[in-house]
A = this chain, B = another copy of it.
């Protein structure tokens, strides 16, 4: 194995976040520690801190001088869980390449179809991953390993890891998967095994706590803007034209907001974080009407989780049980049709839902670079014997974060931020359509 030219010590990244000066280093645990790291502050306390801009320290990612595992004897495994996201294959590829070429590790196993792949009753084969068979996988969207949703029994998973003699497990997945990874770490510790578990957080919605950029997000936004551009063309192709675009984002509107910034033609943006009202002089419907009468067309982008309260209210009041009401865009379409019909105005709506198109494409160059970093640093961390952590970018540096931090709560759009203010400027949208 080539010795790292650029080994870095366990120094910290000083950054500025919602924590008091003096917050202890947020280092992850080590495989050979007998007890979990005692944090001076729990992650709950940490997350409850106000927004004072103060120093927060994270452990810097990078190769370490001293390896915990002996590479020729180390066996790695990779598992990919949950929904697809651009760049999963890039991360897999980077882990395999780094393990093989940088450390000289001989075996990297691919677990099939998510956590199910550990469970004997599903009967899935392993897939051995080599530099040869992963060399072109980054050209494809999705995951070559397959995925599945939902947890599996940590005991069975660790049984499987032991049977396979795996020393290092890389877990690529969302917040549910990171909780599963925590459970695996606990089970490994309970059994006093020396198995490192390293998470690589994945979410198309970009809503993982502490993690300002998840891989694949930029690519998803790029594809989302194409759908918005098409809706813009459709809306302006007819008099009184409305383009309505639905984008992913059940809990958080990051994709919709960022795509709106990229495609500065959007007039109305609806996200879960910002409630709105249909009715009244200051409601959404009148705002759309004014826009149509004034400019001849309107472009609406709607995150799938927007207006949840309106959906529920609609369900309560609509005894007929219209099935489309499960969907905010269906409700909005119905309400617009009714509104314009009642006012005897023409309206030509074109609805576009790119759905999975934005998440199943290959990663763009920026995401590829990021996925490469994630894979490399995940291997560095594991080989140094760290466990119970994720690799991620904090501001502009790569860092280690204890698993507890990323699973403790979800991240949302801050609608009281400069960012959101720029989004509002981009739409020209007033928030006067919020119910009084």
What residues make up the interface of A, taking CB atoms closer than 8 Å to B? 4-6, 8, 14-16, 53, 61-63, 84, 93-94, 97-98, 101-102, 113, 116, 122, 124, 135-136, 138-143, 146-148, 212, 218, 221-222, 224-227, 229-231, 233-234, 236-239, 258-259, 261-265, 322-324, 350-357, 360-361, 364-366, 368-369, 372-373, 376, 395-396, 398, 416-418, 420-422, 424-426, 428
Contacts and interface: CB of A to CB of B under 8 A. Distances in A.
8 nearest A-B residue pairs (beta carbon): A6-B421, A142-B233, A262-B365, A233-B360, A230-B360, A222-B365, A262-B368, A141-B233
Contacts of A420: 6
A356 B365 contact: no
B142 A84 contact: no
A138 B356 contact: no
**Quick one: copies of this chain in the complex?**
4
A190 to B, nearest CB: 30
Contacts of A233: 84, 140-142, 360-361
Given A84-B234, A146-B236, A218-B366, 12 more contacts: A5-B421, A14-B16, A14-B53, A142-B233, A142-B234, A142-B237, A146-B238, A230-B360, A233-B360, A234-B360, A353-B353, A357-B357
Contacts of A141: 229-230, 233
24 contacts: A5-B421, A6-B417, A14-B53, A15-B16, A62-B421, A84-B233, A101-B425, A101-B428, A102-B425, A122-B239, A139-B140, A141-B229, A142-B237, A146-B239, A147-B237, A148-B238, A148-B239, A212-B396, A221-B369, A226-B357, A229-B360, A322-B323, A353-B353, A364-B364
A129 to B, nearest CB: 15
A238 B140 contact: no
Given A6-B421, A84-B234, A366 B148 contact: no
Given A136-B140, A233-B142, A324-B323, A365 B94 contact: no
Contacts of A322: 323
Q: Which of A16, A84, A238 has the most CB of B within 10 A?
A: A238
A425 B98 contact: yes
Contacts of A416: 6
Contacts of A53: 14
A227 to B, nearest CB: 6
Contacts of A63: 421
Given A323-B324, A396-B396, A425-B98, A230 B365 contact: no
Contact of A261 (B139, B372, B395): B372
A428 B94 CA distance: 12
A125 B418 CA distance: 37
A259 B262 CA distance: 22
A265 B183 CA distance: 37
A285 B284 CA distance: 43
Contact of A351 (B139, B264, B352, B355): B355
Contact of A424 (B5, B226, B422): B5
A6 B395 contact: no
Contacts of A94: 264
A425 B369 CA distance: 13
Contacts of A136: 140
Nearest to A297: B146
Contacts of A259: 365
